[in-house]
Chains A and B, each alone.
Chain A
Amino acid sequence: MEMLNEKAILEIRDLDITFRTNAGSIHAIRGVNLDLQKGETVAIVGESGSGKSVTMKAATGLLDSNGVVNRGQVLYRCREADGSEEVVDLLQMSKKELRRRINGRHIAMVFQDPMTSLDPTMQIGPQIMEGMLLRTKLSKAEARARAVELLELVGITDAEKRMKSYPHQLSGGMRQRVVIAIALSGDPDILICDEPTTALDVTIQAKILELIKDIQSRMGLSVIYITHDLGVVAKVADYVNVMYAGRIVEVGNVNEIFYEPQHPYTWGLLSAMPDLDTEDDRLYSIPGSPPNLLHEPPGDAFAPRNAFALKIDEKADPPLFKISDTHYAATWLLHPDAPKIELPPELKARLERARKEAERYL
């Protein structure tokens, strides 16, 4: 198998997933493409139910049993310890094979709530060692030494003593550090962080994000963030994928998305979040709520909530239009025949403010 992009480490091609439920089938993922290059950070942004978690779950074989992959590929460039390299399609592997070869060793995940991803009845030391003992030929003492090293790496002081703590004896930020240490124990190439800081306070959130960034540059990790918080995205991401109703509606590097967004949904997301300078009387909000994919809407799924929807939006789903080499957006507004649209004034002022502030540093 070959990848389209030779520098890519993970490539998702035209992924399409349906969930079978009692109420009917839900078309949750509708043709998603995603690229991740070595050492980069890619963020997937969207509301709950947009399919951002499902996309990554499919790639790691954690899809719920009622999920069916209709088509698509998840290509991963698998580098073994002996230096050999092979491109594999993760969707073609059995769950057993994924667990044996990929999960933990090459792709590791950090979940939202550290209290539910840790075993409450087990001391954290053995929890970190558990995976290492299963995967490698390390002796118990070696694994223990490595676990202490990992705890120090994730910024836990008194690591030796902490090995004997139970999860409930640690604060939320500490627990998430332990989860990160467990994820790193298999020396992965890719770290998938699914809302890693949503359950944490702002001050601790900042520390955890800085920690992940620091480890990433030290270990050369590629990181995928799944989040709905644009502040987090601005802090960590190189590339951003905006997801809506199972499709990626806009993709670009982080500056393109934040300073020159093209899709009305991205506009909405940006203006709905007040920054510390917002003084408008009302926040701009996207009207309505995300569509129920049990009844897949014809045309553009965002059209009913879009103040700038065109007539064609009701009939046909827009393709991704190219804006620059890295920036694409799926909206008919970018079609050459589309009428020129003025940005909402609050957003326009805000983007200008953001660009001006940024220019001081460039």
Chain B
Amino acid sequence: MSEALMKVENLKQYFPISRRFTVKAVNGVSFEIYPGETYGLVGESGSGKTTIGRSVIRLHDPTDGTVTFNGKVISGQLDRETKAMLREDMQMIFQDPMSSLNPRKKVGDIIGEGLDIHGRCASRAERDALVAEMLKKVGLSPAHAERYPHQFSGGQRQRVGIARALIMNPKLIIADECISALDVSIQAQVVNLMKDIQDDTNCAYLFIAHDLSMVKYISDRIGVLHLGYMVETGTTEEIFSNPIHPYTKSLISAVPLPNPVLEKRRTAVAYDREAEGVDYAKGTEHPVGGTHTVLATNEELSRWMKG
């Protein structure tokens, strides 16, 4: 495989609440993203998936660990050039399109803001042309540039969010629950759009979601997070055909299937970490074939492989 686009090693993100108490949101997570691929991060709320996304794009300052992006370390102090590179080559699409778009700006200015800041365009006309082209690409009309966010429907607003991320021609887009707030029929439209754009521009996605069936559909590789630990990672095929960690198994078993006869007969597999006596801090990463690794102690791994 080619050189990794982004390499996250042993990332830790702690939030001190008081002198005595610190929330350890992310506890030593490592993964890599290659150019043009989609890496899915799944886990329940509070598992740290959003925090990871925000740490790598430097909305948080990582407590420990290194993040390398585009051959440069982006986890420590950033010099001016690295910062400019990071702000241009990595973009984010947020969950709620209404709260992530400035309600007092026209859509054209929201999309063009990155171009203005980084001085990509020599003239206003050039910028407007780029914005118009981008609007067309995401399925809106160039005339929409003159409108405000509240004049759009939810699906259209998310398209504006995608256009804003794409106009910088990024190498990596962090999509944080970007379809969860949308209706089913609109979700499919947005996912198709994201796939088309990836085919066009070969950008990579870090796709953060809790909807496993959508993650399975869109991702090439998947990381399963629980309580700030990466409990299992591998290709989509490896994770779904041979889940080993009991948490992954319980997640997969909880996905509702649109098949009533099957669904009515199935009960979700419960997973209780404390009852099973699993301590993530003691586990180490065990490769179990291919790129598939599981966080476990030797004893746990042999027990899970049997079950």
Chain A contact residues, CB within 8 Å of chain B = 47-48, 172, 201-207, 210, 228-235, 237, 254-255, 258, 268-276, 278, 281-287, 289, 354, 357-358, 361-362
Contact = CB atoms under 8 A, between A and B. Distances in A.
Contacts of B259: 234, 258, 275, 354, 357-358
A276 B189 contact: no
Contacts of B154: 48
B281 interface: no
Interface in B29-86: 44-45
Contacts of B153: 289
B44 A201 contact: yes
Task: Describe A's contact surface by its main secondary structure.
Answer: helix
Contacts, number: 135
A231 B154 CA distance: 22
B256 A235 contact: yes
Contact of B183 (A47, A172, A202, A235): A47
Nearest to B240: A276
B251 A283 contact: no
A92 B188 CA distance: 42
B192 interface: yes
Contact of A228 (B184, B189, B252, B267): B184
A276 B213 contact: yes
Given A202-B254, A232-B256, A274 B213 contact: yes
A207 B268 contact: yes
Contacts of A271: 188
30 contacts: A47-B184, A48-B154, A48-B183, A172-B45, A201-B44, A201-B45, A202-B210, A202-B251, A202-B254, A202-B255, A202-B256, A205-B254, A206-B267, A229-B256, A231-B255, A233-B260, A234-B263, A234-B264, A258-B258, A268-B185, A273-B213, A274-B217, A281-B195, A282-B195, A283-B191, A285-B185, A286-B188, A358-B259, A358-B260, A362-B261
A214 B255 CA distance: 19
Given A203-B44, A274-B213, A282 B261 contact: no
Contact of B188 (A228, A255, A284): A284
Contacts of B169: none
B75 to A, nearest CB: 29
Contacts of B261: 255, 357-358, 361-362
A276 B255 contact: yes
Contacts of A354: 258-259
Given A203-B250, A361-B262, A231 B257 contact: yes
A202 B260 contact: no
B185 A210 contact: no
Contacts of A47: 183-186
B212 interface: yes
A59 B76 CA distance: 58
Interface in B68-118: none
Contact of A286 (B45, B185, B211, B264): B185
